[in-house]
Structures are given as C-alpha cells and as structure tokens.
Structure 1
C-alpha cells in the first residue's frame, strides 16, 4: 500500500469516528432533557472566565494584606474554584503561608501549590 492510499484510509476512518461521536452526543442530550423539567441554563463561557478572574483577584487581595509576602512573583490561576499558585517566594516558610492564605478565600475549593524559593543570583 502506498502512502496516499494509507492517508485516504486514515482520513476516512477519522471522518467516520467524528460523525459517530457527534451522533452519540446529540442522542445523549436529547435523552437528558426528554423527561426532565426545565433546568437553569448553564453559565456561558464568558461568565465562567469572569468568575475565574474574580476569584484570582480575591486571592491576590488576600495575599496583599500580608506585608511579609511579596506576591509580585506569584501568579494565581483559578478554574472553577481550583486555584494554582506558580512562581517564587523569598523564603521557604512563605510557600506554605501563601497556600494557607489562598485556602481561606471564599470560593476556593482546592489549591495546587507550585511555588519555589527564589535563589539569589550567582548560586
């Protein structure tokens, strides 16, 4: 079998798989709403992004209240209540402190702490 024949078969299989998965998704949606009462509409993607940004800002604000922590090298990413902390701090003790502060913010469900200690230049 030459390369063109193989690519044609692979493309056909891919299209068939996509069509089959689309059919299942349409069927599944129809079965969910057939007997159920009207449920509230799901949040739009824009509303979800706004909520995630608002939660990130709340975590930054909570960190700003603690003058001993330099949050300038910390990034906060929030997704549906799960907060990820990235970046560096100046002291190893601050790693746990930042995570503890983030956990106290209303709306935070979990914290993934990926902070590390900033090494002085030349080491």
Structure 2
C-alpha cells in the first residue's frame, strides 16, 4: 500500500470514529441527531407556536359549535400556548359557564379566561 493511501485511510477512520462518538453523546433531545431520529421514526413532536394556537382555536370553535344550545355567533376565541380566552356576547347568562366548560373540555386547553357578557336587547335596559 502506498504511504499516501495509508494516511488517507487512517484520517478517514479517525473522522468516522469522532463522528460516531459525537453522535452518541447527543443527549439533548433538541439536538439535530435526536431530531433526525424522531423524524425517521415517524413520530412527531408536539406542535408549538402560531400553528398550534390556530389549531387549538379551531378545535374550541368546533366544540362550541357542536352544542346546539349555545348561540356562538358573537363569541370570539383566542389561544396562546394552551391558554384560551373567550370574548364576545351570549344572549343568556346561563350560557357563559357552559361555553367555558366546553372550552375546558377540548384537549390541549390548559386554562380558560371568559370575558363573555350577556347581550342586552335592542332598546332595552
């Protein structure tokens, strides 16, 4: 074997050994090797950020809309990291706790803040 080929082979072996060692020491679940293993296994990390907030908001709207007793046309839902805020108005005082309870039942909701008010009739007190 030529001396240059032997040096290249030895250098390549060292690079591979160091790469394997660095790969095995990843430890941090957010490191690139762990992330690529997670992606390769087909599992997905929980969604975070604006995309997750929008998805949670849609789930809460859908849950409220399924309840036929609730007049949800004037209800606004905002979500931020699992915290849901309900705003707007409902026609009856009894609907306020019902809407909050429905929102709490949605998977992913960690807290609910209700800023709902009772809608006053037109021209009434």
Establish whether TM, by shorter chain, passes 0.5: yes
Task: After the TM superposition, list the runs of 4 or more consecutive aligned residues in structure 1 that deviate by more than 6 angstroms.
Answer: none
Q: Could you report, residue by residue, the CA deviation over 1:87-114 in whole angstroms, capped at 9, with x for unpaired residues?
A: 0000000000000000000000000000
Gaps of 5+ in 1: 1-35
Which structure has greater helix proportion?
Answer: 1
Give the corresponding residue for 1:79: 80
Instruction: Compute the displacement of 1:39 (Å).
Output: 4.1
Length, aligned pairs only: 84
TM-score norm. by structure 2 comes to 0.63
Q: Please say if 1:40 is aligned against 2:30.
A: yes
TM-score under structure 1 length normalisation: 0.64
Is 2:114 aligned against 1:113?
yes
Aligned CA RMSD, in angstroms, stands at 1.8
Shift of 1:40: 1.1
How far apart are the structure 2 equivalents of 1:80 and 1:40?
Answer: 19
Which ranges in structure 2 are unaligned for 5 or more consecutive residues? 1-25, 32-46
Q: How far off is 1:47 after superposition? A: 5.0
- The answer to whether structure 1 residue 55 and structure 2 residue 62 are counterparts is no
Report if aligned partners of 2:48, 2:81 keep a CA contact under 8 Å in 1. Answer: no
SS at match of 1:111: strand
SS in 2 for 1:92: coil
- In our comparison, the structure showing a higher alpha carbon Rg is 2
